[in-house]
Amino acid sequence: MTTMQETITARPEKSALDVQLERVCWALFLIMIGALALLPKGLVPAGTWLAGTGVIMIGLNVVRHAKSLRVSGFTAVLGLVALALGISALTGVDLPVLAIVLVAVGLHIVYSALVRR
């Protein structure tokens, strides 16, 4: 088992707070999976796992932003996609997720080319 200091030393670009936040989110993720697995199959609606995963990922990035840490665009987008898929499954609405992701990637490329010089 590695200590917090060993983890920070192995990844010097990450602060101790960032590593701690990631650990807490992994713990929440595992708790959510375990809790959902303990419940009877018919009790948990489809999409709950995806929605929960999205909330955890987005929450991580909100806390990172609030603590002036670098927000991970990858996990933020992944969290939004997971949340959208989860909500669509929970509500029974069929979202064109691939089309939405393609538009989001295209907009990001345009933004990067025009704004981030």
DSSP line for 32-52: HHHHHHHS-GGGSPTTHHHHH
Residue 101 pLDDT: 82
Which one, of 46, 53, 103, lies nearest residue 79 by Cα?
A: 53
| More reliable by pLDDT, 104 or 50 | 50
117 pLDDT band (50/70/90 cuts)?
low
pLDDT tier, 8 (very low <50, low <70, confident <90, very high otherwise): very low
Residue type, 37: A
Q: Which of 58, 60, 54, 63 is nearest to 95 (CA)?
A: 54
Phi/psi class of residue 39: alpha, beta or left (left: φ > 0; alpha: ψ in -120 to 50)?
Answer: beta
Tell me how far apart the alpha carbons of residues 85 and 57 are, in angstroms, rounded to a whole number.
14
Tens of pLDDT, residues 27-56: 999 999 999 999 998 899 989 999 999 999
pLDDT of residue 89 exceeding 80:
yes
